[in-house]
Structure 1
Amino acid sequence: MEVPSVKSNTIQNLIKKPFMEVILMLAVFGGIFLKLIYFQFITHINGRPVLGSSNLSMLVSSIAAIFLIFSLVFLLSGKRTFGVLIIVDVVLTILFVADILYIRYYTTAITVPVLLALKFLDSVEGSVVSLFSKKDIFLFLDFPFLIALLFVFKQRIHLKANFAKRLIIFAVVLVLSVPAMFISFNKSDLKNGVFDNNQVIKNMGILYFHANDIFHFVKDDLLQSKTMTAEEKKQMEDFYKNKQVLGDKFKGVAKGKNLLIVQVESLQGFAMNKTINGKEVTPNLNKLAKENFYFDNYFYQVKGGNTSDAEFLTNTSLYPINEGAVFLRYPTNVYNTLPKALKERGYTTSSFHAYNPSFWNRSIMYQSLGIQNFISYEDFNLDEFAGWGGYALSDESFFRQSLEKIDTTKPFCSMLITLSSHHPYDYFGEKTNLDVKPYEKTVLGNYLGAINYVDSCIGKLIEDLKKRNLYDNTVVVIYGDHYALPKTQASDLYKLENVEPNNFNWLRLQKVPLIIHIPGVEGGQTISTASAQVDLLPTIANLMDIDFPYAMGQDMFNKKDGFALLRDYSVVTDKYLYDASESKVYNIKDGSPLNIDEYKNEIEKIMHLGKLSDLMIRKNAFKAVKK
């Protein structure tokens, strides 16, 4: 009975106490670090080699995060540090397992909002066994080793450092670790904006991702009341109750028809009807515009969510939030949407995007939007590439394969989100022969070539629809999602448009084309009433005879006083333009300055729409509202 004790004491006598403590700490540290590396690579978020330059920021950030955790435990637990660290190891292991299983199902890690919205965990819960891999046993291999160490060093390890010494050690680790994380962040792809949760994990590690997610959840959700006050509810109710009643032109003319929405990456209005060196940049789109309904004074309204914001606007007729992206910050809210309305009428709702389903958190957000089927790059044959660094499925192949995947046996609502014309508009090779001199080898020149290629793909899409006998039974909506060139790259654009480089002309250029084909209705009309992306849903709803009371936009076939609220709170109307950055008003026709006092009340009323939409999204206003 005394043998184990003797052996244990003998080993402990051979190893001095400080070394015992180091061995125990390194064992836990090594176990957590190896599990973290396993997570990053088994999920295919990071690629080999492990020590490659592309993984450097993740490795540095992850090591710094583990050191921070260890130093915090050491500061707070004192004598019981080793025991607490084992508990931390167990908790992190459970977290890693949960993230791995969730990623295998939804392609992105668990976030606090998703965790609290249990409906997104139900489907995973029933598939845990099938999602678990034999390799995942690796995550638990350190447990027997740590238990063995506890048995060998079964006497409690008492760390003698007092609180002051522990505080100094914690401060030193903090001073070293936090700057290391900042350096890693600045050297990563995230410094220009976060577009994808998986990109955060890839660049900074899973521990940073969860810490960042918790920080924003506390900041945006816990520290701000999510319950609407009586005054806020009244604002919302008054707006919808007092919405202007428009006419009924084209009401129900497309009832029961299919709906195909094509959201074109970076398609901007200035490319339409543009001729360069004797050739049209967009001949197919120009033809479609002449044959159908073309809205040439249609503004984009995206904010921090770019492409995803355009999807949000189209599907909800709400403005995107002023900070960040709705798809990332409020993916589990309740929304009244076009897909939900069509689903209730027997339609199959789908979205097609030949990219990672975790990008912009689509795999989660689409469920809140009521999109039944999400066809991502995993479902396409990646047989041809064009644009976006040479890694994007060509729009030609994307359109062709998408039409093959649509179930046409019953009414459908399908949204096609293109990729080829993504900034910086290169890697087109011989796919376009547009002569773009004198803008050759500039961003604008690359863009014109990219849009020329995409235009040819759209032409083939229309031909394919006709061959499949779908064109005459389908409402086809084609529009651009956001700007083509950032303001910092606009010098050539001003030259192309032959306008002065100023805020007035910049804001006037922030248009995207919108073309609507309505089966059985004679088109050939250009509508120039000022409108924007928030107006698209009520326009489609009117055509399809759908009552949609919670749209913030207006039906563009029936609105008379046109206006567009941009997300920097600038306002464009049929008469004037308000530049929010300078608080100035200009005549929309010639740019001459106007007296802001004469328009102030109207501008504030329009600006209120964006603030009200922000409020309703932050407070999840539709959760308690029945349609």
Structure 2
Amino acid sequence: MQGILRWMSRPFFVFTVFMVLKINLSWLVIFGAKDTGTALLVSVPSVWVVFGLIELLAKKRKILFYMIANFAMTSVYFAAIMYYKYYGVIVNYRALQQAKQVVQVKSSVFDLMHPYYLLIYLDVVVLLVMFLFSKNIRGWGKELERSGRRIVPIMLAASLLFCLATIWMNRGIVNEIKQAEQMGILNYQVYTVLADMKKEELDPPDTIDRDEIRTLKGIASGNEDQGPYWSAAKDKNIVIIQLESFQNFLIGLTVDGHEVTPVLNRLAKEAYYFPHMYQQAGQGNTSDAEFITNTSFYIPPNGAAADIYTGKDLPSLPKLVREHEYKAFTFHTNDVTFWNRNRMYPALGFTRYYDRAFFGEEDQLAFGASDEVLYAKTAAELAKYQEEGQKFYAHVISMSAHHPYDLPEDKYAVPIPDEMKDTLVGNYLRAQSYADAALGQFIEELKQSHIWENSMIVIYGDHLGLPMYSLNEPELAMLRQMLGRDYSYTDMLNIPLIVSVPDGPPPQAFDQVGGQVDIMPTVAHLAGMPMEGRTFFGQNLLNNKHNILPERYYLPSGSFINDEGVFIPGEGVEDGDLHLIRDRVLAGAGDRDGAKTDEELGKQRLAEQLERYRDEYERALQLLHISDSYVKQLPDLEN
């Protein structure tokens, strides 16, 4: 008994208890698991590998090595929690590439940080204080008993073999969240490093056949440059407005009888409205949305497009319009170095960029001057080009409605109920209502300078604003009450696309599914700019009724969106989840009495069409592969 008590008082046992508590916390936050037995089974051996090495190799200052290891592993679990709350994915070493952006988004990070998350560091702080001010702790666990010296190597070898077996057995799971759950978060970190070391370079294709892309997407060939909308905006200016964190459920939404976005509500009725558009941005968020919109390529498998792809001479919308005697400008109130835009904009071929140096420090919101300043100075600059008779493409990036949606009271544009105040949902509604009001001022300025009637205006959301995994139950209940349904993946990823073409074909709402990758070919179609001979992965939404949209980053690998909904794989296709698009599919899903939940109806549809989904899953992965390999073989950008 005394031997057992002595062993339980050793650092090995005490620090194991600390890590068990942290494993449980991270599992509850990320995987929502009530029974964490499996978590401990796959996670504790990886902890024991580290502690076993310390016991064998650390002859002096053993407790210091335990404290360093404890801090390092604690930080991995803490990063996993925070990263999941922000992105909905499992953190890995590649996220270090994004570390330079943390200072810019620190307010968003702190807003997601529940106080009890910080308890994960409580033992680290206490032990550090004890180590600094108590000499007794420094010799804790210095010598192993003879029995321990025999047991530790056996335990270390067994734990290491178990970890390797766990990684090996689950290496084929494509869904990173499922993979981390089955491997354990620490083992998953090791796996990502080993997998990247072993990963084979993509073989650049000799040629990219546009018909091959069409076949993979399941769309007809040869119809991009024809139809009633072809050249409807020929020779008009092109103004594309990217709205920060704007989701489609805001269109038409009222709270206590007040419209949240009256300007966009009106535009959706007066223009071409695509209510079934979906974001495809990833780690680069806003900058990724800019990249996709201007290239019709998918984002890279790891990292932000602005970091990974900007060394390439990218085919793009700015370069296309410049072939038709346009100038191409981009407007963003933050510093151009944020998200590497100082390299991305030249790679995309913009004639000029306008950033903080142009907009100044006036009326600061989020990361730069407010949307009101953005739009006022942009409108004045565009008016100068119009007076010169110069056709232009202007990409305008709004930013004031950025998470965590903190607005000063003088910017409030819509009243909200008391129960929504000081909540993420309430702050989001206020921020987007302000963004809508500022956009309305921009539209009026464009009309006054006669730019509006001479331009095609395109408006879309850059990425989601309310991640499901960041919302607490009261906030989900607020959304449930507003929407009349549970807030789902289809709501979370759904952004609007609105296109105004004065004097064009009559306004209408288009029912087809689309993504940000489709914006460039749709704009080119309306502008009468042929895309023949170009490689792109989107499609003209005005002529095509079917779509497959591969997703990355905010959803696990292998996820895609089709005409029915959002598919997220599990360990394979058959145990995946299908989140049906409610107004397109769910109403006719064969459950008239409402006995089945949306989740049950999605599983039913997936089971009924399993082979179709296997095929589309493979095609979605192939589309990503072709895009990755094509961009990789593009020539380097000349300095």
TM-score, with length taken from structure 1: 0.62
Q: 3-state DSSP class of the match of 1:550?
A: coil
State which structure, 1 or 2, has the greater radius of gyration over its C-alpha atoms. 1
Offset at residue 459 of structure 1 (A): 0.5
Q: Residues 480-559 of structure 1 correspond to what in structure 2 (within 5 A)?
A: 480-488=461-469, 489=471, 491=476, 492-500=478-486, 505-548=488-531, 549-559=534-544
Residues 609 and 318 from structure 1, CA distance in 2 versus in 1: closer, same or farther, beyond 3 angstroms? farther
Whether 1:393 and 2:378 are equivalent positions in the alignment is no
User: Which residue in the other structure is 2:262 paired with?
Assistant: 283
Offset at residue 345 of structure 1 (A): 1.8
Query: CA separation in 1, counterparts of 2:257 and 2:102?
Result: 45
Q: Residues 14-29 of structure 1 correspond to what in structure 2 (within 5 A)?
A: none
Query: CA separation in 1, counterparts of 2:76 and 2:566?
Result: 39
Whether 1:466 and 2:439 are equivalent positions in the alignment is no
Question: What are the Cα deviations for residues 191-223 of structure 1, in whole angstroms up to 9, with x where unaligned?
Answer: 7456857447999xxxxxxxxxxxxxx999997
User: Which residue in the other structure is 2:287 paired with?
Assistant: 308
Offset at residue 506 of structure 1 (A): 2.6
User: Which residue in the other structure is 1:130 paired with?
Assistant: none
Q: 3-state DSSP class of the match of 2:394?
A: strand
Whether 1:613 and 2:634 are equivalent positions in the alignment is no
Q: 3-state DSSP class of the match of 1:339?
A: helix
Residues 411 and 178 from structure 1, CA distance in 2 versus in 1: closer, same or farther, beyond 3 angstroms? farther
TM-score, with length taken from structure 2: 0.61
Query: CA separation in 2, counterparts of 1:315 and 1:237?
Result: 18
Question: What are the Cα deviations for residues 58-114 of structure 1, in whole angstroms up to 9, with x where unaligned?
Answer: xxxxxxxxxxxxxxxxxxxxxxxxxxxxxxxxxxxxxxxxxxxxxxxxxxxxxxxxx
Long gaps (5+) in structure 1: 1-166, 204-217
Contact 2:276 2:511 (C-alpha < 8 Å) held by counterparts: yes
Whether 1:270 and 2:256 are equivalent positions in the alignment is no
Residues 240 and 571 from structure 1, CA distance in 2 versus in 1: closer, same or farther, beyond 3 angstroms? closer
Contact 1:565 1:607 (C-alpha < 8 Å) held by counterparts: no
Offset at residue 393 of structure 1 (A): 1.4
Whether 1:589 and 2:614 are equivalent positions in the alignment is no
Question: What are the Cα deviations for residues 285-332 of structure 1, in whole angstroms up to 9, with x where unaligned?
Answer: 111111111111111112222111211110111121233211122221
Contact 1:198 1:358 (C-alpha < 8 Å) held by counterparts: no
Query: CA separation in 1, counterparts of 2:318 and 2:69?
Result: 44
Q: 3-state DSSP class of the match of 1:623?
A: coil
Q: Residues 108-127 of structure 1 correspond to what in structure 2 (within 5 A)?
A: none
Whether 1:332 and 2:325 are equivalent positions in the alignment is no
User: Which residue in the other structure is 2:156 paired with?
Assistant: none
Query: CA separation in 2, counterparts of 1:402 and 1:616?
Result: 33
Offset at residue 168 of structure 1 (A): 10
Residues 227 and 443 from structure 1, CA distance in 2 versus in 1: closer, same or farther, beyond 3 angstroms? closer
Query: CA separation in 1, counterparts of 2:214 and 2:635?
Result: 17
Question: What are the Cα deviations for residues 533-553 of structure 1, in whole angstroms up to 9, with x where unaligned?
Answer: 111111011111222231211
The aligned amino acid for 2:551 is L
Query: CA separation in 2, counterparts of 1:293 and 1:241?
Result: 24
Contact 1:480 1:514 (C-alpha < 8 Å) held by counterparts: yes
Query: CA separation in 1, counterparts of 2:240 and 2:195?
Result: 33
User: Which residue in the other structure is 1:580 paired with?
Assistant: 569
The aligned amino acid for 1:612 is L
Query: CA separation in 2, counterparts of 1:195 and 1:456?
Result: 36
Offset at residue 184 of structure 1 (A): 8.9
Query: CA separation in 2, counterparts of 1:178 and 1:367?
Result: 44
Q: 3-state DSSP class of the match of 2:294?
A: helix
Contact 1:322 1:614 (C-alpha < 8 Å) held by counterparts: no
Contact 2:208 2:535 (C-alpha < 8 Å) held by counterparts: no
Question: What are the Cα deviations for residues 342-376 of structure 1, in whole angstroms up to 9, with x where unaligned?
Answer: 12222111111111212111111111111221211
Aligned length: 441
The aligned amino acid for 1:282 is T
Residues 202 and 497 from structure 1, CA distance in 2 versus in 1: closer, same or farther, beyond 3 angstroms? closer
Residues 564 and 240 from structure 1, CA distance in 2 versus in 1: closer, same or farther, beyond 3 angstroms? closer
User: Which residue in the other structure is 1:436 paired with?
Assistant: 416
Residues 401 and 286 from structure 1, CA distance in 2 versus in 1: closer, same or farther, beyond 3 angstroms? same
Question: What are the Cα deviations for residues 21-49 of structure 1, in whole angstroms up to 9, with x where unaligned?
Answer: xxxxxxxxxxxxxxxxxxxxxxxxxxxxx
Q: 3-state DSSP class of the match of 2:420?
A: coil
Contact 2:284 2:304 (C-alpha < 8 Å) held by counterparts: yes
Whether 1:415 and 2:412 are equivalent positions in the alignment is no
Contact 1:195 1:359 (C-alpha < 8 Å) held by counterparts: no
The aligned amino acid for 1:260 is V
Residues 616 and 304 from structure 1, CA distance in 2 versus in 1: closer, same or farther, beyond 3 angstroms? same
The aligned amino acid for 2:522 is T
Question: What are the Cα deviations for residues 125-151 of structure 1, in whole angstroms up to 9, with x where unaligned?
Answer: xxxxxxxxxxxxxxxxxxxxxxxxxxx
Question: What are the Cα deviations for residues 552-584 of structure 1, in whole angstroms up to 9, with x where unaligned?
Answer: 111111112245443334444444553435514
Whether 1:228 and 2:181 are equivalent positions in the alignment is no
Whether 1:479 and 2:460 are equivalent positions in the alignment is yes
Query: CA separation in 2, counterparts of 1:296 and 1:527?
Result: 7
User: Which residue in the other structure is 2:115 paired with?
Assistant: none
Residues 464 and 499 from structure 1, CA distance in 2 versus in 1: closer, same or farther, beyond 3 angstroms? same
Whether 1:373 and 2:352 are equivalent positions in the alignment is yes
Q: Residues 65-104 of structure 1 correspond to what in structure 2 (within 5 A)?
A: none
Contact 1:258 1:412 (C-alpha < 8 Å) held by counterparts: yes
Residues 178 and 500 from structure 1, CA distance in 2 versus in 1: closer, same or farther, beyond 3 angstroms? closer
The aligned amino acid for 1:583 is G
Contact 2:406 2:427 (C-alpha < 8 Å) held by counterparts: yes
Residues 367 and 433 from structure 1, CA distance in 2 versus in 1: closer, same or farther, beyond 3 angstroms? closer
Residues 500 and 180 from structure 1, CA distance in 2 versus in 1: closer, same or farther, beyond 3 angstroms? closer
The aligned amino acid for 1:557 is L
Query: CA separation in 2, counterparts of 1:200 and 1:283?
Result: 34
2:331 paired residue among 327, 352, 355: 352
Q: Tell me which moved more, 405-414 or 458-467.
A: 405-414
Residues 187 and 531 from structure 1, CA distance in 2 versus in 1: closer, same or farther, beyond 3 angstroms? closer
Contact 2:213 2:623 (C-alpha < 8 Å) held by counterparts: no
The aligned amino acid for 2:369 is L
The aligned amino acid for 2:479 is L
Query: CA separation in 2, counterparts of 1:600 and 1:325?
Result: 33
Contact 1:228 1:619 (C-alpha < 8 Å) held by counterparts: no
Query: CA separation in 2, counterparts of 1:292 and 1:384?
Result: 31
**CA RMSD in angstroms, aligned pairs only:** 3.8
Offset at residue 478 of structure 1 (A): 0.6
Q: Percent identity?
A: 27
Q: Residues 4-83 of structure 1 correspond to what in structure 2 (within 5 A)?
A: none
Offset at residue 182 of structure 1 (A): 8.3
The aligned amino acid for 2:489 is W
Q: Tell me which moved more, 418-427 or 428-437.
A: 428-437
Q: Tell me which moved more, 492-501 or 524-533.
A: 492-501
Query: CA separation in 2, counterparts of 1:358 and 1:184?
Result: 28
Q: 3-state DSSP class of the match of 1:513?
A: strand
Query: CA separation in 2, counterparts of 1:604 and 1:235?
Result: 21
Offset at residue 237 of structure 1 (A): 6.4
User: Which residue in the other structure is 1:95 paired with?
Assistant: none
Q: 3-state DSSP class of the match of 1:466?
A: helix
Whether 1:598 and 2:617 are equivalent positions in the alignment is no
2:404 paired residue among 424, 443, 468: 424
User: Which residue in the other structure is 1:254 paired with?
Assistant: 233
Residues 189 and 461 from structure 1, CA distance in 2 versus in 1: closer, same or farther, beyond 3 angstroms? farther
Q: 3-state DSSP class of the match of 2:335?
A: coil
Offset at residue 394 of structure 1 (A): 1.0
Offset at residue 604 of structure 1 (A): 3.1
User: Which residue in the other structure is 1:384 paired with?
Assistant: 363
Residues 219 and 473 from structure 1, CA distance in 2 versus in 1: closer, same or farther, beyond 3 angstroms? farther
The aligned amino acid for 1:487 is M
